[in-house]
Amino acid sequence: MANLDLFAESSSGVPTADRARMQALRELLHTYAHQYYVLDAPAVPDAEYDRLFQELQLLESAHPDWVTPDSPTQRVGGKPLDQFAQVRHAVPMLSIRTETDTDPSGALNFDTRVRKELGLTESDSPVEYGAEPKFDGLAMNLRYENGVLVQAATRGDGESGEDVTQNIRTIGQIPLRLPEGVPAVLEVRGEVYMRRDDFETLNERQRQRIAAGEKGEKTFVNPRNAAAGAVRQLDPAIAAQRPLSFFAYGLGEITPVEQGGPAFGTHLGMLQALKLWGFPVADLVDIAQGAPELVAYHVRIGATRDQLPYDIDGVVYKVNSLALQKRLGFVTREPRWAVAHKYPAQEQLTTVLGIDVQVGRTGKLTPVAKLAPVFVGGVTVTNATLHNEDEARRKDVRVGDTVVVRRAGDVIPEVVSVLIEKRAPDADIFTMSGSCPVCGSVAVREEGEADYRCTGGLFCSAQRKQAILHFAQRRAVEVDGLGDKLVDQLVDAGVVNTLPDLYRLGLTALAALDRMADKSAQNLLEALQQSKQTTLPRFLFGLGIRHVGEATAKALARHFGQLDRIMDATLEQLLEVADVGPIVAASLRTFFDQTHNREVVEQLRACGVTWEEGEPAVQAPKPLAGKTFVLTGTFPTLSRDQAKDLLEAAGAKVAGSVSKKTDFVVAGNDAGSKLTKALDLGVLVIDEAAMVALLRP
């Protein structure tokens, strides 16, 4: 006989047993999914999991108000999106430096830099590092609130990315709900990737669909592109058909210790906590004591690279101690305590079919080898840069040559060398023309530079096209839908000659273009209208000023507050900006000294392009500008980090070791070898109180 209490009804007349069963099923399915996807140890047959899943679906369909965001049924749910919403990261997703030396000695370079920054000598103990594979996938930020996944966002430009929560829910390895005891706010960072076997299965399925005559289907070039395409798929149901995996490797925002958050001491300790909370962490993560063990790790992982179930393009080293990470800090926007150490790029042989010259946004002329198609580093390569005439001459690349091609850094294909023994006797030496291949303007090579540049400026259609594409890109003013082919049509038809012409476009002119329907034309006009509301750093970056990247544009905007102040600034005033040196300052001054460039800015303003402006950043007195300090020992009231921050705010440089160039050594209790060296060199030694006195203007 049924237990009548079990079927007692709530005040709303709905059986409470259903609700209890739904909760029990969710917990059970979460456990089975973790065992299957993360631990690779399934506890029940697939048929049993499916039966329980279907039972939960039936209960949720009967009680839709009780469906929770962390339910296993919500892994594939939601309507297709029109576009992804933008998400601003609470903690920026910064990139890490890439070690350019791909030999094992690159690990020595990193360890040397770290020890130098920490002021360590040969007699000091080795630095302890965490070492892990560098996954070839898509960086992702997962935000959990009260243990429930509420948002997933791509890296984007580091400060903001795209909200891809619906698609990330489809990844079985990513928990929708965390166990009890996790921080109230927890952002987990990691890599979304596609396993090699899953990639092959996906491509085989795609080939079958193509053979069956299904339209719009294609095979994928490599696992990374397939993973990125799945993450950015607007329909989560389609994304769910593309098998994705995840590895956790770091944190973003997290409840602070003073509010009950965890107190991690090491990077590896943090990874262990992530594993306990249900996140997959790579088995190849390891501890390395000093440079020799970093080298050994690089060699060991490199030897097994091709046998791994997923693609990697290097390894990552991180100082294990979080206290030392904080002490090392950042340079520009990269941590001093971490580095990506890549492996030598894969190489293949192919034939040079021709050598073309491409014209870049700033007029730079770049010789490009046209190649017989070859599969290198996961993609089919048909072009490879020769960089400039000197490089092409040094390598002596000629049409018809058999060449070694590699993807430098697994990104940019380049010609490494020529097999001279296979060269035809009548092969001609490559020579750069004295004119632009697009507009015929004179090509000049400035003193001290390796590159030729077209002097045609906006008269050159190639430069116009690149300038427009640069201005319209996502990290500049962002005009959605304005791509290469459309820009080609607009420039070639003479409809757009300068940037302000974009905002003078009308529906009739756009609709008259080839393959441009009324709806597409209207969408572009709306995108142009939306792009008028931008920011000063984006607008400044979008102007395409040589040597002015995103970081420099942001520094200029912070320093001056208004565009007019930047345009009218002297070289001396520009050099006061933290991210601006003599070359950048000269480039800015040259750009804004040109009447036609100022005219473009004023016309863009007249077309309604606008941004918020403010007052310049307050320039506090720098009483210690040009002085170098070294800190040693324990101070009475300040931590070493606090002392360093105070000194740097006063304009001083804080070094990790004592030399003849050191102006002051600030010594506290238990000062070590740095104090001894300062006394030997005759460097002035002061205490905390004297240092604080020097800080006063």
593-638 pLDDT, tens digit per residue, is: 878 788 989 999 999 999 999 887 666 567 887 789 999 988 988 8
Compute the C-alpha angle 257/261/262, nearest 5°: 90
Cα–Cα distance between 511 and 490 in angstroms, integer?
11
Residue segments in the chain with a per-residue pLDDT below the cut of 70:
1-15, 36-42, 46, 74-82, 216, 221, 345, 377-378, 408-411, 446-447, 457-459, 579, 617-621, 697
The alpha carbon of 466 is separated from its chain's Cα centroid by a whole number of angstroms, namely 23
Produce one character per residue of 606-633: b if its CB has 16 or more CB atoms within 10 Å, e if not: ebebebeeeeeeeeeeeebeebbbbbbb
Please tell me the predicted confidence (pLDDT) of residue 338.
96
* Element containing residue 348 per DSSP (H, E): strand 347-359
CA distances from 36 to 44, 71, 100, 172 (A): 9, 17, 39, 9
Show contacts of 215-222: CB within 8 Å, 24+ apart: 221/378, 221/379, 221/380, 222/311, 222/378, 222/379
Compute the C-alpha angle 663/666/670, nearest 5°: 140
Please tell me the predicted confidence (pLDDT) of residue 19.
85
Please tell me the predicted confidence (pLDDT) of residue 408.
55
Cα–Cα distance between 96 and 155 in angstroms, integer?
13
Cα–Cα distance between 280 and 278 in angstroms, integer?
7
Please tell me the predicted confidence (pLDDT) of residue 458.
63
CA distances from 330 to 269, 325, 481 (A): 22, 9, 36
List of domains in the chain: 4-75 (1.10.287.610), 128-342 (3.30.470.30), 347-424 (2.40.50.140), 457-531 (1.10.150.20), 536-611 (1.10.150.20), 628-695 (3.40.50.10190)
* Residues making up the chain, counted from first to last: 697
Please tell me the predicted confidence (pLDDT) of residue 139.
93
Active site residues: 134
| Strand pairing report for 334-335 and 330-331 | antiparallel
Please tell me the predicted confidence (pLDDT) of residue 4.
32
Contact 619, 81 (CB under 8 A): no
Please tell me the predicted confidence (pLDDT) of residue 9.
43
| Residue 489 CB coordination number (10 Å) | 16
Cα–Cα distance between 220 and 226 in angstroms, integer?
6
Please tell me the predicted confidence (pLDDT) of residue 266.
97
Tokens of 305: 């690279």
